[in-house]
Structure 1
């Protein structure tokens, strides 16, 4: 009985999320050392308004990667959705409330197109398909708005990006609600269990009666929809939009998901890890920004994190830990 409890405890503390918590604390410590302005309650709270907009895309991307797929068109979907919203409001006189709804529909449509192409042309990988739509959606945004910016949103629209509710950033409250919803959807529903089953063995899942194509379409539609939500928060925070916004967002999102412990081979991972990774990369970028680190350097750091997060699980940390403990007991 004692051995069973000891084994369970060891297994609990060897979970990937504990390593992420240590990395998060390390990021806080390094940033605090580098900048005297970092460790400030109000600053840390309000920093979420800067980096949480892209975090909404992380939730469906977790599901996509568990399915062994990927979507690199999400940044372009953000751009197209926001450009359509701004153009409808400023050029065509559509009420802002209706423009926001259409923005969400455009995002969902982009995701639907991705999903339909992927299930229709199964011989093509999701990388190739979404690379094509990434170029397409960004190109459409340039066709609509060319190289111009579009803003002049109503005053109330800025609340999405900069508003507070009881002293808490509105975007943080919305993020928490979506985090809870997607976590329950992935880990506590039949839909979520089917996603894991498909990630482990899509062929067996199909023969077991799982509606593989339908689930893929739903997940990609969710990715497009969440990209549109990102577009709303980003346009609100910036006060305008243009076709080149959200460039490299797909890199940040995929890095957050991979760092969160979602297996690139599919069928494995937890939403909690991705949520912790959001704050690791978010506060890393915020802290580096305080000391004026160039954006190119940030890309290098995020790239390194992405590589490390993919390589470390292959190192068999449990085996290394077990050999270390055995060696200490022998000594």
Structure 2
């Protein structure tokens, strides 16, 4: 059996989002997939132009994120979503140019791209407009730490928001819910660099005294946050997957989300509560009160595992490497 030269861009590894996906998947691909010895940020557009040296002769370069290189080596990317293409203004123009000039040609050449949900797979197929490309949904998963509590949790008086302050996640909607219920509190799990932005927004909305921001949690600590919350709120208008939804329902805590965000509905595995009107805080508050009064644990219809995700990725990596696409 031939041994292929397969290299992975491990710079994506981290705690949350794409970083978590990269960490979990790369750890399970085995010794035949080695890490590129590169530094710098893979998401920096200038990184596409770096000199690859001997790695230009690889059978395949695998990326657990969306970025790639200008190289004669075939590449397999993981396109988690197309949210970048929804960004407006000058930055949005840059993203469109990057996706059209760098990402799309890489995908069309390899005839394959990985993604994390059926929602994203559909969007990618529409964007590519190329039936010869296999768009493979390898799925997503969450840590074993996210499971229902073994002991009864004390009275729950707050809702939980896990994510960041980007516009499409609508953190202001989560804060506006507090205006409808003076006994409710909000805990936000955010990157530390966004703490002051969140606090300023909460103060401007008149709910600053009831909003707490926390950062840098390990899985066990985040699981306790899910356990102690009435519900996790996800007012995103767009997501590629929505990992906090899966983490929450696997922890036994319902997730309340806007019904127009198909990815969150998919991630919640039948244990989510949809909201009809994204910007109606009264509807959010009404459904959260219903969850609090009912106190029924969330029960997802399935629990995806990282082993299954990595197996699908590994199969695709080796299949694309065996095609002999190097030019």
For the criterion TM > 0.5, the same-fold answer is no
TM-score (norm 2): 0.26
Higher relative contact order (CA 8 A, sep 6+): 1
Is the helix fraction higher in 1 or 2?
Answer: 1
User: More strand by proportion, 1 or 2?
Assistant: 2
